[in-house]
Amino acid sequence: MLILIALGILLIAVLARMLWQSEPKAKDLQLDCSREATARFHCLQEHDRIVERIFGDEDWNFLRHRVPSEIRRSFLKQRREMAFCWLTLIRVKAKGVMHHHLAYARSFQSLEPVLECKVAINYLAFQLSCALLAGLLWLRGPVALRGTVVRAHELCERLRALTEVRWDQTLAARQRS
Amino acid sequence: MNFYALSLWLIGPLLEALILARGIQTGWFPKYRAFSAYVCCVLIQDLLFLGVYFLRFNDYGWIYWWGELFSVAFGIGVTWEIFGLILGPYSGAGRMARNVLGVVIVMTFSANLAAAWSSQLLPSGTVVELERNLRVMQALSLLVLAALATYYRIPIGRNAKGMFGGYGIFIGTSVITLTLRSSLGESFQRAWVSAQPLCYVLTLVIWSAFLWKYEPVPAVDVRPRIEEDYRLLALITKKRVLQARAILGKATRP
């Protein structure tokens, strides 16, 4: 009973939102073949440099013991803003790629549901990664981010090793009994 | 019957007549045939119900429920028309919708068959549950359409939006009220007698507003493409999104 009521409420909510939204403008409906829409993530070397500059600890290590605490705080704050700006740029580019795909794919007769699902899941995984990275940036900032991830990875490895040891012991005990 | 119930009952045919009159005046009446047929059918039905209620009250119960099933059948035509209006120019998305709907219909029928086999349907509630199940299938169909239209950013147009929104809201409220009616039985009857007509009048108001003028679905450039390009497009999209993820990964790893 609850499932059917939830279905009814969901349908009403979705359609009420659709009725409330305004109609898209004519220029938004045309397929956008501009450079932004077909954005490639080429020039990976350029991205590597930017990522290293933002998330690397070289600049921080240089400033850490040389400047007053106010300048250190200002540096971390600006570096965090740069990281969020960079993340937004990547998100906008990926969104442009998906928008381009959907705008073309919807008119193909040979549209394959399985392939579309894979593309959708891939994009969803990307959005979740962005959200996770944004959360970590907010909590730890770009400079401390890598250290946090390395420590989390080490912890997972230790837990895995511990679980393997316990499992081996359990198997050995069963075989003896 | 109290004044509130009678008012709602009389407003219904008036709004239906207004919608049909505007359809003839503005020219959408012959273009949206299934929808126009549905509104005509419901108008005739409402006038018939009014007559039966006041002249042959003892027969009203069974005439009402069979009339409802008849309008459900016509409503399937409206659902079909909405699908055609929105997904018509987009053959690929339409094919996806048909595949998903096929699965949904098979699953719903199987569930109903299983319930009937295990005799979960009570004789007194059979018609209520039958209408509820048919409305649930329509609700699922409309949800699939809403999901596809949102995901592929398909332009809908004001008239189609009004038909879709109004009819969908009516189906949603029907699913809720029929579910409660079949579960709670006679104790829900009073609330149901007030709620159901109110929801339908809301639907008619939405249709009046969105169908006041003829505004067809906007034409978008859907030039025929080489079908082999689709796989290439999908692979390129996947590759680019994976590249974006790889760049994110570089941020967390030295």
Chain-chain contact of A97 with B169 (C-beta, under 8 angstroms): no
Closest CA to B86 of B2, B144, B7: B144
> What phi and psi, each to the nearest 5 degrees, are found at residue A54?
-75, -45
Three-state DSSP class for residue A59: helix
Quote the pLDDT of residue B124: 45
pLDDT confidence of residue B123: 47
Q: How far apart are CA B5 and CA B1, in angstroms?
A: 6
Mutation for B interface: A12, A35, A53, most B CBs within 10 A:
A12
> What is the signed CA dihedral for B39, B84, A124, B246, rounded to 10 degrees?
-160
Within 8 A of B250 by CB-CB distance, chain A residues are 47-48, 51
A30 chain-B contacts, CB cut-off 8 A: 220-221
Q: Tell me how close the Cα of B222 comes to any Cα of chain A, in angstroms.
A: 6
Distance CA B196, CA B204 (A): 13
A9-61, pLDDT tens digit by residue? 999 999 998 888 766 555 554 544 444 444 555 555 567 778 888 888 888 88
Is the Cβ pair A98, B241 closer than 8 Å?
yes
ipTM over cut 0.90: no
**Residue B206, pLDDT score:** 93
Q: Tell me the chain A residues in contact with residue B132 when contact means C-beta distances shorter than 8 Å.
A: 4
Query: If 0-12 CB within 10 Å is exposed, 13-18 middle and 19+ buried, where does residue B134 land?
Result: buried
With CB atoms and an 8 Å threshold, state whether A126 touches B244. Answer: yes
pLDDT in tens, A119-129: 889 899 999 98
B178 close to B115: Cβ distance less than 8 angstroms:
no
Region A151-158: mean pLDDT is 80
* CA pair distance B233, A105, nearest whole angstrom: 8
Give residues with Cβ within 8 angstroms of A37, minimum separation 6.
A96, A97, A99, A100
Asked if B230 and A110 come within 8 Å (Cβ–Cβ), the reply is: yes
Hey, are the CB atoms on B233 and A101 less than 8 Å from each other? yes
- Distance between A44 CA and the closest CA of chain B, angstroms: 8
Separation in Å, CA of A176 to nearest CA in chain B? 44
Rounded to 10°, the helix B189-210/B158-184 angle is 180
Option in B99, B230, B244 nearest A105 (CB) = B230
Residues B192 and B128 sit within 8 Å (Cβ to Cβ): no
Q: Looking at residue B21, what is its pLDDT? A: 94
Q: How remote is the C-alpha of A100 from its chain's centroid? A: 19
First vs last C-alpha separation in chain B: 77
Chain-centre distance for alpha carbon B70 = 15
Nearest chain B residue to A127 by CA: give it: B245
Mean of the pLDDT values across residues A156-166?
77
DSSP code per residue over B111-122: HHHHHHHTT-S-
Q: Select from B133, B129, B12, B127 the least CA-distant residue to B66.
A: B127
Q: Do B206 and A19 touch (CB under 8 A)?
A: yes
Strand ranges, E, within chain A:
none
Angle at which helices A113-176 and B229-252 cross, to 10° = 50
Q: Which residue of B has its CA nearest to A11?
A: B172
The predicted pLDDT at position B134 comes to: 83
Q: Which residues of A touch B172 (CB under 8 A)?
A: 7-12, 15
Q: How far apart are CA B133 and CA B131, in angstroms?
A: 5
Is the model's pLDDT at A156 over the cut of 70? yes
User: Is A23 in Cβ contact with B157 (below 8 Å)?
Assistant: yes
DSSP-derived 3-state class of residue B225:
coil
- CB within 8 Å: A26 and B171: no
* A-chain residues near B90 (CB < 8 A): 106-107
Determine the length of chain B: 254
Distance CA A98, CA A90 (A): 13
- Cβ–Cβ below 8 Å for A15 and B254: no
Q: Average pLDDT by consecutive 10-residue portion of chain B (254 residues)?
A: 77 92 92 92 89 84 80 84 85 77 75 63 62 86 89 87 93 90 77 81 93 82 63 84 84 75
DSSP codes joined into one string, B61-89 = HHHHHHHHHHHHHHHHHHHHHHHHHHHTT
CA pair distance B134, B68, nearest whole angstrom: 11
Q: Is the pLDDT of residue A166 over 60?
A: yes
Q: Using the predicted structure, report yes or no on whether residue A8 has a pLDDT greater than 70.
A: yes
CB contacts of B173 in chain A (<8 Å) are: 8, 12
